[in-house]
Amino acid sequence: MKVIIFSTHGFEKEFLVSANQQQHELFFAEVNLSEQTVNLAKGFDAVSVFVNDNASAIIVEELNRLGVKYIVLRSAGFNHVDYKRAKALGMRVARVPAYSPYAVAEHAVTLMLALNRNIIRAHNRIMDLNFSLDGLTGFDMRGKTAGIIGTGKIGAITTEILTGFGCRLLLYDIEENENLKNKINVQYTSLQDLFKEADIISLHCPLNEKTKYLINNDSIKLMKDKVMLINTSRGGLVNTKDVIIALKTGKIGYFGMDVYEEEEHLFFADHSEDILQDETIARLLTFRNVLITGHQAFLTKEALNNIAVTTINNINCFQEKKLCSTEL
């Protein structure tokens, strides 16, 4: 099958080539799928898209007109793909439902520890031969209360890791995870109580109309002074402007973010030659107690391999006209 891979990143190409084992003709395009680039798909049977590609109805219709029959997502999330329109046109769409919840959970904990122990600041100081320890004091994780919002695959692993540190875990989810209920030092509670009691809050629920801006002025007011907030889930869960206000007053003591509500304009690309236009990110970069990574929580060898293998399996299924368990 001829497949065009939109938004190919350097970090994933070798995994896709290896998983493919020369079965399909893969064409790697670095550009995003958009109204301007959709014509590149002419002559291909399938397109593969990543999180910031645009496969809205109008693009899907154009893909169909160009003869594309299949869309394979290299992501779990599918809010950027109008799969209902695609299916109505007779196209088949599949995704990668889970690639490595460990990667994301471990990254959330990495942000916690790096913020707590001032790792970036310490490293920068030592690069300047400044070996003073003043201002680098952290806290023991043992005995602290961590609040986990969303206890699905990633939230559950984050819970397990933090239990290992000796934290007390407060959990909130609209559906409680039975496997976590009987663990020592782990307890489900209300969202309000979690906000009030947690020293560290980590977000692991999806973004939808109920969770949009879950972290806002009102919820922040309930939190402990100097709380640590970690978001590796979706940027829209957090009202970033409200977080900035709370960082300025010291109410939020630490903020670790891997996702950002306006990330599609910035993330996954090198803007080092550009003049930064995003005032919110510009302000966040001025705080020493803010740590930002650019949607890299998933970025481990294991996750990239799983994404590549599932993507090629999806293409195989479509080629062989088989049922596909990851089909939308």
| Residues that bind ligand NAD in the complex, under the rule CB under 6 A | 76, 101, 104, 149-155, 172-175, 204-206, 210-211, 232-234, 258-259, 295, 297-298
Q: How far is the CB of 135 from ligand NAD (least distance, A)?
A: 29
Catalytic residue among 9, 295, 320, 327: 295
Cβ atoms 32, 54 nearer than 8 A? yes
234 is catalytic: yes
Q: How far is the CB of 99 from ligand NAD (least distance, A)?
A: 8
Q: How far is the CB of 139 from ligand NAD (least distance, A)?
A: 25
Contacts with 59 (C-beta within 8 Å, 6 or more apart), sequence order? 33, 34, 35, 38, 82
The nearer residue to ligand NAD, 94 or 297, going by C-beta atoms, is: 297
295 is catalytic: yes
Candidates 64, 69, 63, 75; CA nearest to 33 is: 63
What is the helix (H) or strand (E) element at residue 171, kind and residue range? Answer: strand 168-172
Cβ atoms 7, 50 nearer than 8 A? yes
Catalytic residue among 92, 168, 234, 261: 234
The nearer residue to ligand NAD, 1 or 98, going by C-beta atoms, is: 98
Residue 320, φ and ψ in degrees, nearest 5: -85, 5
Task: For residue 156, give the amino acid letter.
Answer: A
The nearer residue to ligand NAD, 107 or 224, going by C-beta atoms, is: 107
Euclidean distance between CA atoms 202 and 287, whole angstroms: 19
Q: Which residue is nearest to ligand NAD (CB)?
A: 152
The nearer residue to ligand NAD, 61 or 264, going by C-beta atoms, is: 264
168 is catalytic: no
Tokens 């930064």, located at residue = 276
The nearer residue to ligand NAD, 211 or 305, going by C-beta atoms, is: 211
Catalytic residue among 263, 264, 273, 327: 263
Candidates 28, 25, 1; CA nearest to 12 is: 28
Q: How far is the CB of 259 from ligand NAD (least distance, A)?
A: 5
Q: How many CA atoms lie within 13 A of 22 on its CB side?
A: 0
Q: How far is the CB of 63 from ligand NAD (least distance, A)?
A: 25
Please give the C-alpha separations between residue 209 and each of 89, 154, 195, 201, 218, in angstroms, as whole numbers.
28, 21, 20, 21, 17
Euclidean distance between CA atoms 148 and 322, whole angstroms: 39
- The residues annotated as belonging to the active site are 234, 263, 295
